[in-house]
């Protein structure tokens, strides 16, 4: 599977650009602020229907313009697919496959899978539990559409229940029955989400550990431990008896929306005790394991975007990364870097076609 070309209109700092890619390696060069990351973000939109950086679609419309449009041609199993993602100011975004709009954007997720490695990945170990849930859900959603549906339904019901709790507090009126009508479906969805996350981690863990070992060449034992209220055998009772507390905090205090992954090295928190090198290896291993999980599931490689990671990684780690995509069948790779000579050196012995692009002020030209 690969992306043959892209056409951008009024997307961030791209006024109008048409670019034809290599089905192997694409190096996107240009000074800071020129639009390298924006180009990767447009590819991210085509694959996952959203930006990797700014979840407010309207803010990705070029300043002072009325809409953006991103079009691209994917190749999959000897067929071509035209994907278009557009957003008009004041309206919801529309994603079309071969000119037919999706009724549910979630149906597009995982069709043309993608993995992004960027400097922000360290957020997965540094930030709060929601970034880790997002990371885990992002992988499962690309391989299991049913899971994504459950997750979206859960989020919808949960936010309705939370809204009710807020309304009760505001009006000093309580309706236990109304709340209870949410609990049965919520509990059922939580169980499904918990089971799927558990199954996912069983498969993911050994792959993750393997990649960590290979990147670090160290002997430390890394671990990701799933933390969830649902491990308690009395979870359902606890959840239901938490109603009074939910009322006072005006939100739902227990459930899979509180899940976390505890990231550790030799039994200690990687965030607090890991060296910089260990943290880098940890994060890259998380992403490589994501790549491999998706590849195993689909039977082909996801598109890999490497955004400005060469500043952050030493040559050994970068080499391993490139080997990973180029071993056996080659996947499609997009690399951004402000320093073309460095990328050229790293890719020197890579035996496949490399296309180079220079980005200046939101214009990408093949060089």
Ligand X SMILES: Nc1ncnc2c1ncn2[C@@H]1O[C@H](COP(=O)(O)OP(=O)(O)O)[C@@H](O)[C@H]1O
Q: List contacts with ligand X (CB under 6 A).
A: 12-13, 30, 32-38, 59-63
Nearest to 334 by CA among 363, 361, 300, 305: 305
Q: Is residue 141 a contact point for Mg ion (CB under 5 A)?
A: no
Smallest distance, Å, CB 126 to ligand X? 21
- Is residue 13 helix, strand or coil? coil
Cα–Cα distances in angstroms (integers) from residue 334 to residues 124, 129, 195, 236, in the given order: 22, 29, 34, 46
- Is residue 212 helix, strand or coil? helix
Question: Is 357:26 a contact under the CB 8 Å cutoff?
Answer: yes
Q: Which of the choices ligand X, Mg ion, none does residue 255 contact, using the CB cut-off of 5 to 8 A by kind?
A: none
Residue 26's contacts (CB-CB under 8 Å, 6 or more residues apart) are 332, 333, 334, 335, 354, 355, 357
Q: What is the DSSP letter of 49?
A: S
**Rounded Cα gap, residues 67 and 61, in angstroms:** 6
Nearest to 8 by CA among 68, 57, 93: 68
**Rounded Cα gap, residues 226 and 263, in angstroms:** 9
Q: Which of the choices Mg ion, ligand X, none does residue 131 contact, using the CB cut-off of 5 to 8 A by kind?
A: none
**Rounded Cα gap, residues 345 and 364, in angstroms:** 22
> Which of residues 165 and 335 has its CB atom nearest to Mg ion in the complex?
335
Smallest distance, Å, CB 54 to ligand X? 8
Smallest distance, Å, CB 32 to ligand X? 4
Which of 10, 17, 37, 332 touches Mg ion (CB under 5 A)? Answer: 37
Smallest distance, Å, CB 29 to Mg ion? 11
Smallest distance, Å, CB 354 to ligand X? 19
Pick the stretch among 37-45, 71-79, 238-246, 286-294 that binds Mg ion (CB under 5 A): 37-45
- Taking CB atoms, the residue at the shortest distance from ligand X is 37
> Which of residues 13 and 131 has its CB atom nearest to Mg ion in the complex?
13
> Which of residues 325 and 359 has its CB atom nearest to ligand X in the complex?
359
Q: Is residue 51 a contact point for Mg ion (CB under 5 A)?
A: no
Smallest distance, Å, CB 362 to ligand X? 7
Q: Is residue 10 a contact point for Mg ion (CB under 5 A)?
A: no
**Rounded Cα gap, residues 39 and 43, in angstroms:** 7
> Which of residues 13 and 37 has its CB atom nearest to Mg ion in the complex?
37
Q: Is residue 150 a contact point for Mg ion (CB under 5 A)?
A: no
Q: Which of the choices Mg ion, ligand X, none does residue 100 contact, using the CB cut-off of 5 to 8 A by kind?
A: none
């Amino acid at each position: 599977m690969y992306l043959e070309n892209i056409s951008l209109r009024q997307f961030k700092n791209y006024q109008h650009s048409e670019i034809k890619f290599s089905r192997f390696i694409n190096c996107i060069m240009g000074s800071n602020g020129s639009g390298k990351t924006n180009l990767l973000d447009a590819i991210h939109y085509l694959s996952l229907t959203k930006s990797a950086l700014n979840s407010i679609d309207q803010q990705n419309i070029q300043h002072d313009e009325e809409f953006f449009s991103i079009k691209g041609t994917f190749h999959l199993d000897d067929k071509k697919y035209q994907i278009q993602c557009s957003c008009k100011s004041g309206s919801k975004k529309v994603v079309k496959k071969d000119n037919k709009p999706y009724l549910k954007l979630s149906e597009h997720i995982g069709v043309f899978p993608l993995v992004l490695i960027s400097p922000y990945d360290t957020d997965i170990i540094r930030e709060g539990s929601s970034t880790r849930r997002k990371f885990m859900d992002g992988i499962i959603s690309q391989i299991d559409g049913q899971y994504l549906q459950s997750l979206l339904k859960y989020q919808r019901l949960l936010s309705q229940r939370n809204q009710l709790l807020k309304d009760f507090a505001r009006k000093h009126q309580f309706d236990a029955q109304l709340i209870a009508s949410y609990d049965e479906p919520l509990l059922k969805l939580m169980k499904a989400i918990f089971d799927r996350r558990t199954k996912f981690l069983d498969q993911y863990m050994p792959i993750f550990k393997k990649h960590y070992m290979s990147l670090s060449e160290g002997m430390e034992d890394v671990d990701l431990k799933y933390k969830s209220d649902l491990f308690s055998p009395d979870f359902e009772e606890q959840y239901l008896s938490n109603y009074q507390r939910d009322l006072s905090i005006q939100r739902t205090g227990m459930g899979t929306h509180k899940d976390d992954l505890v990231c550790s090295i030799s039994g200690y928190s990687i965030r607090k005790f890991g060296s910089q090198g260990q943290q880098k290896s940890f994060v890259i291993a998380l992403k490589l394991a994501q790549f491999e999980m998706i590849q195993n599931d689909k039977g082909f490689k996801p598109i890999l975007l490497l955004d400005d990671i060469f500043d952050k990684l030493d040559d050994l780690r970068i080499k391993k990364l490139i080997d990973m995509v180029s071993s056996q069948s080659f996947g499609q790779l997009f690399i951004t870097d402000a320093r073309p000579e460095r990328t050229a050196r790293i890719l020197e012995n890579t035996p496949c076609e490399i296309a180079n692009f220079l980005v200046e002020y939101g214009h990408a030209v093949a060089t």
